[in-house]
Amino acid sequence: MMWYTRVKWIRSKFANINHIYKRHFLLGIETSCDDTGAAVLSKEGLILGEALAKQPSSEFGGVVPSFAMGFHARNLPVVTKSALDQAQMTMEDVQYLAVAVKPGLSGSLATGLDYVKYLSRKHSIPLIPIHHMEAHALTARMIEEIKFPFMVLLISGGHCLLAIAEDIGRFKLLGQSSDNSPGEVLDKAARALRLHALRPDLRSVPGGRAIEIMASEGGSPFAIDFPTPLMQFKSCNFSFSGFKAQLWNVLNQVEKKQPLEPDELLPNVSDVAASIQYGVARHICHRLQRGFEYALLEEIWPSNQENTLVVSGGVACNQSIRNSILKICEEYNIKAVFPPPKYCTDNGVMIAWNGLEKYRKTVDIIQPEQVMELDVSPRVSFGTDISEQVTNRNIKCKWIKLL
């Protein structure tokens, strides 16, 4: 073939591919808390473009809802364009939109939804509304094949729950936190220990990561006893508020002995960090162990299939907490799947993936003419709550030693 004939032939092939793929893509948008994410997936589930604008919330002592709204409004067009550019696409190529509409901060969710409604109307694209927690739970299926039913543990800054994923949009809630989340406790601990202020290298890392780094600098997990919460309740529910109270006690005792200078770190800061991290891990693992016992007792996992636990949320990035979870999984012969850290924390890819899963099942697809009726639901539950049934089973566990 002469070279110009070959060029013509290649061009015609690409024209065909362009034609086939035109409007065959899905754009997902995440704005439920403080970070703004966008991602483009092909219908086969390949990530073609992704962008995330991370708000430095730890620098202003946590998420400030009004700042978060402004941040999303400024960054939504930027991350969307960046994801589309990477995918070498324009909005004209997008066939479906997906956006997180629940749960989360109302202003943040509404800013994302308004933007996506605008895109839907302007470019005439159907929209798929997404439950943020369901998206965390399903992301692992993008990385590898995981059959339903599987168990999912979500441990992040905004949530803490243990559930059975039965299908897309069908979850059974085994237990959840009645107060704080593990991420919140670790963030508060980092702030109380003044890690962001006194360790410049930790200034812009999340609180939980700061605690992990501090703990790894020779801290003993047994130095301070953080009692395991809810030991008297045979449930899969969580509670983290006791860790905060215990931490204030520890800090008060130190201050009483010898007040700290304004620029001075607690002398045993690594021990405190390691102990609280271990306390949080132990509590999570106790509830998880009971969850496994319940699922086996109730024969929730089919016997002809590998039993799988998916662990997601920002706190799942913590290596020490991961190792503890892995220990429990090993004992029960359960496969643990941790999505890569960047997909454990909030991102646009998880929303796009959940959108794709719903598209494949043809559920929750809202046509452009109806999108204005959609609203956000900042406070909603997750799945069917069976936590009482779990408690009523009165399951005693022989606790597995973590360290």
Binding partner of 48, given ligand KG4, Zn ion, none, CB within 5-8 angstroms per partner class: none
Asked whether position 346 contacts Zn ion by CB under 5 A, the answer is yes
Minimal distance, residue 131 CB to Zn ion, in Å: 11
H or E segment at 98?
strand 94-102
Which is nearer to ligand KG4, 134 or 212 (by Cβ)?
212
Instruction: Give the whole-angstrom CA distance, residue 54 versus residue 51.
Output: 10
CB under 6 A: which stretch of 119-127, 163-171, 292-300, 314-322 binds ligand KG4? Answer: 314-322
Cβ atoms of 69 and 63 within 8 Å: the answer is no
Minimal distance, residue 100 CB to Zn ion, in Å: 9
CB under 6 A: which stretch of 170-178, 181-189, 370-378, 383-391 binds ligand KG4? Answer: 181-189
Q: Give the pair of three-digit tokens for residue 139.
A: 């992301």
Cβ atoms of 35 and 78 within 8 Å: the answer is no
Cβ atoms of 308 and 146 within 8 Å: the answer is yes
For ligand KG4, the binding residue among 93, 134, 212, 293 (CB under 6 A) is 212
Minimal distance, residue 147 CB to Zn ion, in Å: 24
Report cis status (omega within 30 of 0) of the bond before 77.
no
Beta strands 335-337 and 170-176, pairing class: unpaired
Minimal distance, residue 33 CB to ligand KG4, in Å: 5
Q: Give the pair of three-digit tokens for residue 136.
A: 């965390």
For ligand KG4, the binding residue among 103, 208, 221, 279 (CB under 6 A) is 208
Total residues binding ligand KG4 (CB under 6 A):
19
Among candidate residues 347, 376, 342, 387, the one with its CA nearest the CA of residue 131:
376
Asked whether position 348 contacts ligand KG4 by CB under 6 A, the answer is no
What is the gyration radius of the CA atoms in the chain, in angstroms? 23
Binding partner of 127, given ligand KG4, Zn ion, none, CB within 5-8 angstroms per partner class: none
Among candidate residues 209, 228, 222, the one with its CA nearest the CA of residue 271:
222
Instruction: Give the whole-angstrom CA distance, residue 403 versus residue 400.
Output: 9
- In the bound state, the residue with its beta carbon closest to Zn ion is 346
Binding partner of 328, given ligand KG4, Zn ion, none, CB within 5-8 angstroms per partner class: none
Residues found near ligand KG4 in the complex (CB under 6 A) = 33, 156-158, 183, 186-187, 206-209, 212, 313-315, 317-318, 345-346
